[in-house]
């Protein structure tokens, strides 16, 4: 790590490191094999004060900055990517209420968040159907009926909701009213116990198997006091308030998959076999390990610098955040694929956990702001489309 950390940032890092090693890592293989939700791990994070780490100290939270947040997420992902992703979705989903709130929302949402009493997740996209047969482009959202004091959800189906049913609070985005301006979104917090919800099947992903990312139907009235920001202005809020944390914690989670696999590879490659040989002594493998270390450090340095610049208020457009996301996810895909080759049959036969990291890494290419969507977004910010 090239960046110099403050004592507080180091303390967050050390806390995450020991939780990862003592609680998450021992359960990661079993969570992946069975696809069960990593409840013990998530509860351990809560008990250590991580659920409330982004809430401000004024309300009893940890007051963690962006850099501390990404250090924590990377460290957790090294040990169990599934748990790190559930945690990342909690941080992302609670970011807006942690930053922008009415006085009533401080009591209702922010203080409980700070105390670790609420688990959040994102119920955002409605992009794909059961078999992709009713696919519609990202950005198409269901409409909620506007009542005098509430928004009525009429069985809105959200296609991938991490921590589905486990989370107590859902950051949910809809169109407010059938005639809402095109693309105008209204985010709100849906409290699990105040609406009807139903999972549409169990999550059985190729990777991130402990995420519980099932589709969920939501039906019921959500009080207007649960709305985040102004009606129809969710898109703007997402860009300004949430994007740093959304993109950077994605980056951190994906980076942790690559760096976690690399740490295991470092230990395995330097083990001496009965013949006296080590995997690292093969010149091709030595080159691989050198190259992967450079790839990881490059992605990590961009991530840390983007987070630090964000903390210092020096980022005017979210370009570095999105760049960090694509670099981290592609690094992790590259590193884990390389390790599958380097560890040969042992890796392929799943005697070492590289194939799990390899499968988990694949999510980074498509999840939230798919890379194919992220690159044009970066280019559009660098080269705004010409008008007329
Ligand atoms: C493990 C996991 C957990 C998830 N958790 C959550 C969650 O908690 N909450 C939530 O709301 N969502 C969640 N998602 C959903 C995630 O945000 C979507 O997978 C993502 O938005 C992509 O949508 P899609 O899967 O429908 O892919 P599609 O829209 O079918 O996209 C497939 C491919 O098409 C191309 N493509 C699509 N759109 C564009 C575009 N606009 N520009 C360029 N290329 C494009 C890209 O190559 C992309 O990879 C999760 C997904 C996964 C895999």
Asked if residue 89 has its Cβ within 6 Å of ligand 1, the reply is yes
Q: pLDDT exceeding 90 applies to what percent of the chain?
A: 89
Q: Please, which residues have CB within 8 angstroms of residue 290's CB and are 6 or more apart in sequence?
A: none
C-alpha distances (whole Å) from 258 to each of 107, 292, 372, 375 are 39, 9, 20, 21
User: pTM score, two decimals?
Assistant: 0.96
The position carrying tokens 């509860």 is 43
Asked if residue 205 has its Cβ within 6 Å of ligand 1, the reply is yes
Average pLDDT over residues 268-276: 94
Distance 129 CA to ligand 1 centre (A): 12
Q: What is the pLDDT of residue 239?
A: 81
How would residue 139 be classed by pLDDT, with cut points 50, 70 and 90?
A: low
What mean pLDDT, rounded, does the chain reach?
Answer: 95
Distance 12 CA to ligand 1 centre (A): 31
- In this model, does residue 131 exceed pLDDT 60? no
User: pLDDT per residue over 54-90, tens digit each?
Assistant: 999 999 999 999 999 999 999 999 999 999 999 999 9
25 dihedral zone (left: phi>0; alpha: psi -120 to 50; beta): alpha
CA–CA distance, 297 with 302 (Å, rounded to integer) = 9
User: pLDDT per residue over 332-375, tens digit each?
Assistant: 999 999 999 999 999 999 999 999 999 999 999 999 789 999 99
* 352 neighbors 264 (Cβ within 8 angstroms): yes
How many C-beta neighbours within 10 Å does residue 33 have? Answer: 12
Distance 367 CA to ligand 1 centre (A): 5
Q: Which two tokens stand for residue 348?
A: 């392929």
CA–CA distance, 304 with 314 (Å, rounded to integer) = 14
- DSSP class of residue 138? T
- In this model, does residue 134 exceed pLDDT 70? no
Q: What is the pLDDT of residue 130?
A: 52
* 255 neighbors 332 (Cβ within 8 angstroms): yes
CA–CA distance, 356 with 165 (Å, rounded to integer) = 25
For the CA of 124, the closest atom of ligand 1 is 11
Average pLDDT over residues 15-33: 98
Q: Which H or E run includes 234? A: helix 234-237
Which domains, ranges and CATH numbers included, belong to the chain? 7-119 (1.10.540.10), 122-232 (2.40.110.10), 235-382 (1.20.140.10)
* 225 neighbors 102 (Cβ within 8 angstroms): yes
Backbone φ, ψ for residue 90 (5° rounding): -65, -45
């Amino acid at each position: 790590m090239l960046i110099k950390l403050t004592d507080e940032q180091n303390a967050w890092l050390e806390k995450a490191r020991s939780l990862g090693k003592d609680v998450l890592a021992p359960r990661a293989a079993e969570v992946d094999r069975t696809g069960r939700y990593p409840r013990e791990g998530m509860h351990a994070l809560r008990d250590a004060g991580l659920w409330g780490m982004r809430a401000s100290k004024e309300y009893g939270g940890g007051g963690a900055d962006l850099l501390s947040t990404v250090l924590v997420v990377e460290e957790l992902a090294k040990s169990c990517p599934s748990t790190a992703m559930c945690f990342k979705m909690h941080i992302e989903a609670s970011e807006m209420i942690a930053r922008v709130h009415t006085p009533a929302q401080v009591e209702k949402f922010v203080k409980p968040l700070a105390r670790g009493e609420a688990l959040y997740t994102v119920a955002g996209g409605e992009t794909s159907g059961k078999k992709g047969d009713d696919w519609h482009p990202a950005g198409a959202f269901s409409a909620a009926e506007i009542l005098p004091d509430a928004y009525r959800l009429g069985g809105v189906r959200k296609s991938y909701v991490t921590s589905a049913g486990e989370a107590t609070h859902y950051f949910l985005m809809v169109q407010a009213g059938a005639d809402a301006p095109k693309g105008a979104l209204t985010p709100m917090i849906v409290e699990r116990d105040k609406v009807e919800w139903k999972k549409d099947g169990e999550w059985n992903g190729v990777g991130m198997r402990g995420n519980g990312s099932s589709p969920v139907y939501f039906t019921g009235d959500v009080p207007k006091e649960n709305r985040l920001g102004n009606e129809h202005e969710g898109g703007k809020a997402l860009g300004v308030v949430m994007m740093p944390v959304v993109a950077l914690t994605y980056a951190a989670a994906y980076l942790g998959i690559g760096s976690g696999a690399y740490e295991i590879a470092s230990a395995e490659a330097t083990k001496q076999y009965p013949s006296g040989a080590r995997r690292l002594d093969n010149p091709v493998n030595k080159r691989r390990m050198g190259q992967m270390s450079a790839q990881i450090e490059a992605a990590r340095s961009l991530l840390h610098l983007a987070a630090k610049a964000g903390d210092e208020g020096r980022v005017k457009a979210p370009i570095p955040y999105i760049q960090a996301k694509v670099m981290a996810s592609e690094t992790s895909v590259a590193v884990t694929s390389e390790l599958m080759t380097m560890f040969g049959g042992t890796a392929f036969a799943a005697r070492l956990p590289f194939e799990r990291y390899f499968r988990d890494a694949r999510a980074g290419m498509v999840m939230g702001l798919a890379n194919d969507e992220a690159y044009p977004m970066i280019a559009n910010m660098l080269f705004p489309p010409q008008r007329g």
